[in-house]
Amino acid sequence: MLQGKSILLIIGGGIAAYKCLDLIRRLRERGASVTPVLTRAGAEFVTPLSVSALCERKVFQDLFDLTDEAEMGHIQLSRSADLVLVAPATADLMAKMAQGLANDLASTLLLATDTPVMIAPAMNVRMWDHPATQRNLATLKADGVTVIGPNEGGMACGEFGAGRMAEPLEIVAAVDAQFADGPLKGKRILVTSGPTHEPIDPVRYIANRSSGAQGTGIAKALRDLGAEVVFVTGPASVPPPDGVQVIAVESAQQMHDAVMAALPVDAGVFAAAVADWRVKAQSSQKIKKTREGLPTLEFAENPDILATVSRLTKNRPPLVVGFAAETEDVVALATAKRGRKGCDWIVANDVSPATGIMGGSENAVTLITDDGAESWPRMGKDAVARQLADRIARALA
């Protein structure tokens, strides 16, 4: 979807600027052209030479560079792109944008542009949490600026928290979604996928046979209909789709936390095979064989992510779709599960070994909604995904 798109990339001054080099490559390998603007502070972190080499274009740096004005005025430059992307967007750049300042090339372009603007903030956690930055963020969102990230994690300054710039592929996914067209354009949809791994000790875990194929297919189909997809995946054996925001987790608890952090969304599709139990007291060291006998594992129940989201009073997605993996009495058990979990739809499938569905490439599902149970013929998991995505598009229309 990025083929032929032109992106004006404003690189602010922060340590995260180094990630822009990769971001440029990722955008360009998908067919976009990138015109770079480097702020004075940005040039302290990445060199104009590396940026222009990767973009195969001149880097614009100075508002009063008369040659540039003769070739292309700043007004024209600001409007020549399909999207203006600011990455990293520093606290200073965000403040300038929110105030409408125009005292250097980057801020002037941002004030003059009539094209959509997306920012990927990056800064120290205290700067991010500061009421001034949060006020500026609210102003920018109200002005129609799309904000991607920041993520939580350790920072170059040694502190931990929200403020890390989104990863290049997450930014690419958001840019992709910006250009997407289709019935789900403007809709943000969460998909959980894959198995979870529940650790026993640092080297062992309990898992299940889910490959993540069905969840991945659904994420692709939703993306292809124009949705912005947040894909929360356990350690699956099929690779995650391109053009979606991927949040990789290991355990059910991590999946629960990632899902909660991703809300609000317009719909949630819970295709993950989440482990129902985790080992209660994980050993911090590898459990050794001893003469005293075999270890005993005690279990604790994991949070039921689907049931939790279905029962939210605030931020409950308008459409919640669960899956039911059953090995007998599929429709009856899945119908009961739909009521128990409180989701709107349930996609039931028979995962008894004879069907070859768990870990296989085909699926035979029954969609259970308020209107009753509708059995679909056995087909490839991608075809099931497309049919389900179509139904979701119709329901959200």
Q: Which residues are catalytic?
A: 157
Minimum CB distance to ligand CTP smaller for 221 or for 306: 306
Residue 341 counted as an annotated binding residue: yes
| Residue 57: how many other CB atoms lie within 10 Å | 14
- The span from the CA of 216 to the CA of 281, in Å, is 32
Q: For residue 136, what are its two tokens?
A: 């500026």
Rank residues 110 and 305 by Cβ distance to ligand CTP and give the closer one.
Answer: 305
Q: 338, 322 in Cβ contact below 8 A?
A: yes
Is 305 among the annotated ligand-binding positions? Answer: yes
For the CA atoms of 313, 315, 319, 324, the dihedral, rounded to the nearest 10 degrees, stands at -70
Rounded (10°) CA dihedral 141, 145, 150, 151:
90
Least distance CB 306 / ligand CTP (angstroms): 4
Element (H, E) at 7: strand 6-11
Alpha-carbon span 269 to 358, nearest angstrom = 18
CB of 226 to ligand CTP, least distance (A): 24
Question: Other C-beta atoms within 10 Å of 160: how many?
Answer: 12
Helix (H) or strand (E) holding 385: helix 381-396
To the question of whether residue 323 is assigned a binding role by annotation, the answer is yes
User: What is the distance between the alpha carbons of residues 256 and 210, in angstroms, rounded to a whole number?
Assistant: 18
Q: Least distance from C-beta 258 to ligand CTP, angstroms?
A: 12
| Nearest CB to ligand CTP, comparing residues 125 and 325 | 325
**Residue 337, annotated as binding a ligand:** yes
CB of 83 to ligand CTP, least distance (A): 34
Binding stretches for ligand CTP (CB under 6 A): 192, 252, 270, 272, 274, 276, 302, 304-306, 322-325
Consult the annotation and say whether 131 binds a ligand: no
Rank residues 89 and 190 by Cβ distance to ligand CTP and give the closer one.
Answer: 190
Binding-site annotation, residues for CTP: 276, 286, 303-306, 323, 337, 341
